[in-house]
Amino acid sequence: MTTASSTASANGDVFGGHGRLGYIAPSTCERAAREFYGLAPDGVAMLIATLPIAQLSDTDVDAALAGIATAAEQLVQTGADIVFSAGIPLVLRSGIAGNRALRERLEEVTGCPVGTDLEATVDAIRAVAAERIVVVSPFKEELHTRYMPILGECGLQVLADVAMEYDRQIEYGKLPDDAPLEVAQRLVAEHPDVDAVYMPCGRIGNALEISRWEERLGRPVVTANQAMIWWTLQQFGVSSPSSVGGCLLTRVGGS
Protein backbone atom coordinates (compact mmCIF):
# COMPACT_ATOMS: atom_id res chain seq x y z
CA MET A 1 0.00 0.00 0.00
CA THR A 2 1.34 3.42 -0.90
CA THR A 3 1.61 6.13 1.73
CA ALA A 4 0.05 9.56 1.72
CA SER A 5 3.44 11.26 1.60
CA SER A 6 4.58 9.22 -1.38
CA THR A 7 1.47 9.91 -3.46
CA ALA A 8 0.93 13.58 -2.65
CA SER A 9 2.63 16.08 -4.94
CA ALA A 10 5.03 18.66 -3.54
CA ASN A 11 3.61 21.34 -5.83
CA GLY A 12 1.42 23.57 -3.67
CA ASP A 13 0.28 25.59 -6.71
CA VAL A 14 -1.75 22.63 -7.98
CA PHE A 15 -5.21 22.01 -6.51
CA GLY A 16 -4.46 19.61 -3.69
CA GLY A 17 -0.76 19.76 -4.50
CA HIS A 18 0.19 18.83 -0.93
CA GLY A 19 -2.41 16.07 -0.72
CA ARG A 20 -6.01 15.20 -1.56
CA LEU A 21 -8.43 13.65 0.90
CA GLY A 22 -11.16 11.45 -0.54
CA TYR A 23 -14.07 11.98 1.84
CA ILE A 24 -17.00 9.54 1.85
CA ALA A 25 -19.97 11.27 3.45
CA PRO A 26 -22.97 9.26 4.65
CA SER A 27 -25.22 12.04 3.33
CA THR A 28 -24.65 15.64 2.30
CA CYS A 29 -21.51 17.23 3.70
CA GLU A 30 -21.86 21.00 3.54
CA ARG A 31 -20.55 21.48 7.09
CA ALA A 32 -17.63 19.09 6.65
CA ALA A 33 -16.49 20.90 3.49
CA ARG A 34 -16.83 24.35 5.07
CA GLU A 35 -14.88 23.33 8.15
CA PHE A 36 -12.22 21.44 6.19
CA TYR A 37 -11.33 24.40 4.01
CA GLY A 38 -11.49 26.72 7.01
CA LEU A 39 -8.90 24.69 8.92
CA ALA A 40 -6.72 22.86 6.39
CA PRO A 41 -3.67 24.63 4.93
CA ASP A 42 -3.44 25.73 1.31
CA GLY A 43 -2.53 22.85 -0.96
CA VAL A 44 -4.61 20.26 0.92
CA ALA A 45 -7.85 19.47 -0.89
CA MET A 46 -11.02 17.48 -0.33
CA LEU A 47 -12.69 15.27 -2.94
CA ILE A 48 -16.19 14.16 -1.95
CA ALA A 49 -18.46 11.19 -2.55
CA THR A 50 -21.84 10.89 -0.84
CA LEU A 51 -23.85 7.85 0.23
CA PRO A 52 -27.67 7.54 0.29
CA ILE A 53 -28.44 7.89 4.01
CA ALA A 54 -31.41 10.26 4.24
CA GLN A 55 -32.85 8.67 7.37
CA LEU A 56 -31.01 6.67 10.02
CA SER A 57 -32.60 3.35 9.12
CA ASP A 58 -31.04 -0.07 8.55
CA THR A 59 -32.30 0.07 4.96
CA ASP A 60 -30.46 3.32 4.20
CA VAL A 61 -27.31 2.19 6.01
CA ASP A 62 -27.25 -1.15 4.18
CA ALA A 63 -27.56 0.70 0.87
CA ALA A 64 -24.65 2.92 1.87
CA LEU A 65 -22.46 -0.03 2.83
CA ALA A 66 -23.27 -1.73 -0.48
CA GLY A 67 -21.88 1.23 -2.41
CA ILE A 68 -19.02 2.37 -0.22
CA ALA A 69 -16.23 0.42 -1.96
CA THR A 70 -17.26 1.83 -5.33
CA ALA A 71 -17.27 5.34 -3.87
CA ALA A 72 -13.77 4.85 -2.46
CA GLU A 73 -12.45 3.54 -5.77
CA GLN A 74 -13.94 6.49 -7.65
CA LEU A 75 -12.32 8.96 -5.28
CA VAL A 76 -8.88 7.43 -5.79
CA GLN A 77 -9.41 7.25 -9.55
CA THR A 78 -10.11 11.00 -9.54
CA GLY A 79 -7.00 11.87 -7.55
CA ALA A 80 -7.48 11.15 -3.85
CA ASP A 81 -4.30 10.16 -1.98
CA ILE A 82 -6.10 8.97 1.15
CA VAL A 83 -9.71 8.04 1.94
CA PHE A 84 -11.87 8.75 4.99
CA SER A 85 -15.15 6.95 5.66
CA ALA A 86 -17.42 9.13 7.80
CA GLY A 87 -20.57 8.21 9.66
CA ILE A 88 -21.37 6.59 12.99
CA PRO A 89 -24.43 4.72 11.58
CA LEU A 90 -22.01 2.58 9.53
CA VAL A 91 -20.20 1.66 12.75
CA LEU A 92 -23.42 0.73 14.51
CA ARG A 93 -24.41 -1.63 11.71
CA SER A 94 -21.18 -3.63 11.93
CA GLY A 95 -19.57 -2.96 15.33
CA ILE A 96 -15.89 -2.43 16.08
CA ALA A 97 -14.72 -5.57 14.29
CA GLY A 98 -16.87 -4.78 11.27
CA ASN A 99 -15.58 -1.22 11.19
CA ARG A 100 -12.01 -2.51 11.17
CA ALA A 101 -12.87 -5.00 8.43
CA LEU A 102 -14.45 -2.21 6.37
CA ARG A 103 -11.30 -0.09 6.65
CA GLU A 104 -9.13 -3.03 5.62
CA ARG A 105 -11.39 -3.77 2.65
CA LEU A 106 -11.27 -0.15 1.50
CA GLU A 107 -7.49 -0.12 1.87
CA GLU A 108 -7.33 -3.24 -0.27
CA VAL A 109 -9.52 -1.87 -3.07
CA THR A 110 -7.92 1.60 -3.10
CA GLY A 111 -4.29 0.81 -2.26
CA CYS A 112 -4.08 3.89 -0.04
CA PRO A 113 -4.43 4.78 3.67
CA VAL A 114 -8.04 4.77 4.91
CA GLY A 115 -9.44 6.34 8.05
CA THR A 116 -12.81 5.80 9.70
CA ASP A 117 -14.97 8.02 11.86
CA LEU A 118 -14.73 5.77 14.93
CA GLU A 119 -10.99 5.14 14.81
CA ALA A 120 -10.11 8.78 14.12
CA THR A 121 -12.40 9.93 16.93
CA VAL A 122 -10.94 7.56 19.52
CA ASP A 123 -7.39 8.51 18.51
CA ALA A 124 -8.32 12.20 18.66
CA ILE A 125 -9.78 11.89 22.16
CA ARG A 126 -6.63 10.12 23.31
CA ALA A 127 -4.50 12.80 21.64
CA VAL A 128 -6.02 15.43 23.95
CA ALA A 129 -5.18 13.16 26.91
CA ALA A 130 -8.82 12.37 27.64
CA GLU A 131 -10.48 9.20 28.87
CA ARG A 132 -13.56 10.43 30.76
CA ILE A 133 -15.93 12.11 28.33
CA VAL A 134 -19.42 13.49 28.00
CA VAL A 135 -21.20 12.97 24.69
CA VAL A 136 -23.77 15.14 22.89
CA SER A 137 -25.21 13.61 19.71
CA PRO A 138 -28.07 14.63 17.41
CA PHE A 139 -29.28 11.03 17.14
CA LYS A 140 -32.50 9.42 18.27
CA GLU A 141 -32.22 7.72 21.65
CA GLU A 142 -32.21 4.19 20.19
CA LEU A 143 -29.25 4.82 17.89
CA HIS A 144 -27.43 6.94 20.46
CA THR A 145 -27.79 4.24 23.13
CA ARG A 146 -26.31 1.64 20.78
CA TYR A 147 -23.24 3.82 20.26
CA MET A 148 -22.30 4.43 23.91
CA PRO A 149 -21.14 0.83 24.65
CA ILE A 150 -18.92 0.94 21.55
CA LEU A 151 -17.09 3.93 23.01
CA GLY A 152 -16.67 1.95 26.21
CA GLU A 153 -15.23 -0.99 24.28
CA CYS A 154 -12.69 1.46 22.84
CA GLY A 155 -11.48 2.27 26.35
CA LEU A 156 -13.36 5.52 26.91
CA GLN A 157 -15.45 6.23 30.00
CA VAL A 158 -18.72 8.00 29.20
CA LEU A 159 -19.71 9.94 32.32
CA ALA A 160 -22.89 11.38 30.80
CA ASP A 161 -24.54 11.58 27.41
CA VAL A 162 -27.47 13.27 25.72
CA ALA A 163 -29.29 12.32 22.52
CA MET A 164 -30.87 15.39 20.92
CA GLU A 165 -33.50 13.11 19.32
CA TYR A 166 -33.31 13.97 15.62
CA ASP A 167 -33.99 11.28 13.04
CA ARG A 168 -33.54 12.78 9.58
CA GLN A 169 -30.50 14.38 7.96
CA ILE A 170 -32.53 17.46 7.02
CA GLU A 171 -33.14 18.12 10.72
CA TYR A 172 -29.42 18.02 11.51
CA GLY A 173 -28.64 20.55 8.82
CA LYS A 174 -31.01 23.11 10.33
CA LEU A 175 -29.55 23.03 13.85
CA PRO A 176 -27.78 26.21 15.03
CA ASP A 177 -24.02 25.75 15.38
CA ASP A 178 -24.15 26.32 19.14
CA ALA A 179 -27.04 23.90 19.83
CA PRO A 180 -24.80 21.06 21.12
CA LEU A 181 -22.67 23.53 23.09
CA GLU A 182 -25.62 24.52 25.26
CA VAL A 183 -26.18 20.86 26.18
CA ALA A 184 -22.45 20.30 26.75
CA GLN A 185 -22.27 23.19 29.21
CA ARG A 186 -24.87 21.53 31.41
CA LEU A 187 -23.13 18.15 31.29
CA VAL A 188 -19.73 19.63 32.17
CA ALA A 189 -21.27 21.51 35.10
CA GLU A 190 -22.82 18.26 36.34
CA HIS A 191 -19.57 16.29 35.86
CA PRO A 192 -16.63 18.55 36.76
CA ASP A 193 -14.21 15.60 36.61
CA VAL A 194 -14.79 15.10 32.87
CA ASP A 195 -11.71 15.28 30.62
CA ALA A 196 -13.29 16.23 27.29
CA VAL A 197 -16.52 16.75 25.36
CA TYR A 198 -17.29 14.66 22.28
CA MET A 199 -19.88 15.56 19.62
CA PRO A 200 -20.41 12.83 16.99
CA CYS A 201 -21.93 13.49 13.56
CA GLY A 202 -20.41 15.79 10.96
CA ARG A 203 -23.64 17.72 10.49
CA ILE A 204 -23.78 19.32 13.94
CA GLY A 205 -21.53 21.83 15.65
CA ASN A 206 -18.84 23.87 13.94
CA ALA A 207 -15.14 23.02 14.09
CA LEU A 208 -14.41 26.67 13.28
CA GLU A 209 -15.79 27.58 16.71
CA ILE A 210 -14.09 24.93 18.84
CA SER A 211 -11.46 27.16 20.43
CA ARG A 212 -14.25 29.46 21.61
CA TRP A 213 -16.21 26.49 22.91
CA GLU A 214 -13.17 25.16 24.78
CA GLU A 215 -12.77 28.51 26.52
CA ARG A 216 -16.39 28.37 27.68
CA LEU A 217 -16.27 24.72 28.74
CA GLY A 218 -12.77 24.64 30.17
CA ARG A 219 -12.24 21.28 28.43
CA PRO A 220 -11.03 19.99 25.07
CA VAL A 221 -13.80 19.45 22.52
CA VAL A 222 -13.67 16.76 19.84
CA THR A 223 -16.16 16.79 16.97
CA ALA A 224 -16.53 14.41 14.04
CA ASN A 225 -15.32 16.89 11.43
CA GLN A 226 -12.47 18.13 13.59
CA ALA A 227 -11.25 14.54 14.12
CA MET A 228 -11.44 13.92 10.36
CA ILE A 229 -9.42 17.07 9.65
CA TRP A 230 -6.87 16.14 12.33
CA TRP A 231 -6.49 12.64 10.84
CA THR A 232 -5.97 14.15 7.39
CA LEU A 233 -3.30 16.59 8.58
CA GLN A 234 -1.55 13.73 10.37
CA GLN A 235 -1.48 11.71 7.15
CA PHE A 236 0.04 14.55 5.14
CA GLY A 237 2.38 15.77 7.88
CA VAL A 238 1.07 19.34 7.79
CA SER A 239 -0.49 21.60 10.40
CA SER A 240 -3.51 23.87 10.47
CA PRO A 241 -2.76 27.56 9.89
CA SER A 242 -5.81 28.48 11.97
CA SER A 243 -6.05 28.94 15.74
CA VAL A 244 -9.82 28.41 15.98
CA GLY A 245 -10.01 24.61 15.57
CA GLY A 246 -9.30 23.66 19.17
CA CYS A 247 -6.40 22.13 21.02
CA LEU A 248 -6.60 18.87 19.03
CA LEU A 249 -5.33 20.58 15.89
CA THR A 250 -2.22 21.73 17.74
CA ARG A 251 -1.34 18.07 18.27
CA VAL A 252 -0.60 17.07 14.69
CA GLY A 253 2.34 14.70 14.55
CA GLY A 254 1.86 13.67 18.18
CA SER A 255 3.11 16.99 19.55
pLDDT in tens, 86-125: 887 677 777 899 889 989 999 999 999 999 999 999 999 9
Among 100, 116, 132, give the residue marking a domain's end.
116
| Residue 217 lies in domain | 120-226
Whole-model pTM: value is: 0.88
Among 65, 81, 116, give the residue marking a domain's end.
116
Q: Does 215 reside within a domain?
A: yes
Which CATH number characterizes residue 160's domain? 3.40.50.1860
Which of 92-105 are b and which e, b meaning 16 or more Cβ less than 10 Å from the residue's Cβ? bbeeeeebeebbee
Which CATH number characterizes residue 61's domain? 3.40.50.12500
Q: Does 255 reside within a domain?
A: no
| Strand 157-163, strand 132-137: pairing | parallel
pLDDT at residue 28, as a whole number = 72
Q: Does 129 reside within a domain?
A: yes
pLDDT tens across 135-188, in order? 998 888 888 888 999 999 999 999 999 988 765 555 656 677 788 898 999 999
| Whether 96 and 170 share a structural domain | no
Q: Does 232 reside within a domain?
A: no
Domain count of the fold of the chain: 2
Give the model's confidence band at 52: pLDDT under 50 very low, under 70 low, under 90 confident, else very high.
low
Q: Where are the alpha helices (DSSP H) in the chain?
A: 4-7, 30-39, 58-77, 88-110, 117-127, 141-153, 169-173, 179-190, 210-217, 224-236
Q: Does 99 reside within a domain?
A: yes
Q: Does 153 reside within a domain?
A: yes
Q: Does 101 reside within a domain?
A: yes
